[in-house]
Amino acid sequence: MSHYPRIVLASRNQKKAGEIAELLKPHGIEVQSVADFPQAKEVVEDGQSFAENAAKKAYETAQAISEWTIGEDSGLMIDALDGAPGIYSARYSGENATDEKNNAKMLEELKDVPLPERTAAYICNVALSNPQGEICLQVEARCRGRMTDEARGENGFGYDPYFEIIELHKTFGELAPIVKQHLSHRARAFERFIPQLVDLFHELDD
């Protein structure tokens, strides 16, 4: 039985919550989705960067539920589109955005861009708030690739079927989840985040 506090993820995205729970499971840290806490309101993501949005999700949710909280903000930055969709990745196609609509807009924007120039990076920023709403840890990581002109693979979510790791000739949609857990922007951010988290929780125990 873990002696670590549980952590709430300030996201209602069940696929994202599942990915993060899997990353923390080997360390004996239980992750629960904020969807289980009706008193937690939807956080308005009005920051100007992934870092600002991740921190805001973490501390506002922590203040509402008095639990250790992870705020995570991630998105896609396409070089040929001057870094778009960026922090607007989840709502790129407007208010009622879906993965399908976002991908359709992305493909339209890139229709005249040749494959070698469709380079991009997935960015992930992770922030940890204590139950009092104070940010204790924050890290950021990225994964480089390029955007294909057609969807490949059934795995992942968001822009994953179009985001190709050039060296592997495979999109995130084609990668097995176990491989993505080592390569993705989220995996890389949590590689940095987890040792610091474990050290912090050790200090709390002492």
Q: Please tell me the pTM assigned to this model.
A: 0.90
Question: Is 66 within any annotated ligand binding site?
Answer: no
Spatial strand order of the sheet with 170-171 comes to 31-33, 7-9, 69-78, 119-129, 135-147, 163-165, 170-171
What top-level class would CATH report for the domain 7-205?
A: alpha beta
Question: Is 185 within any annotated ligand binding site?
Answer: yes
| Residue 206: per-residue pLDDT | 65
Q: Which residues contact 120 (CB under 8 A, 6 or more apart)?
A: 76, 77, 78, 79, 144, 145, 146, 147, 163
Question: Is 15 within any annotated ligand binding site?
Answer: yes
Tell me which residue of 34, 45, 20, 54 sits closest to 127, measured CA to CA.
54
Question: Is 159 within any annotated ligand binding site?
Answer: yes
pLDDT digits (tens, 9 = 90+) for 82-136: 999 999 999 999 989 999 999 999 999 999 999 999 999 999 999 999 999 999 9
Q: Which of 36, 46, 73, 199 is catalytic?
A: 73
| Residue 1: per-residue pLDDT | 41
Domain boundaries, the chain: 7-205
| Residue 2: per-residue pLDDT | 56
Continuous H helices in 70-121: 99-109
Q: Which parts of the chain sit beneath pLDDT 50?
A: 1
Judge whether 73 counts as a catalytic residue. Answer: yes
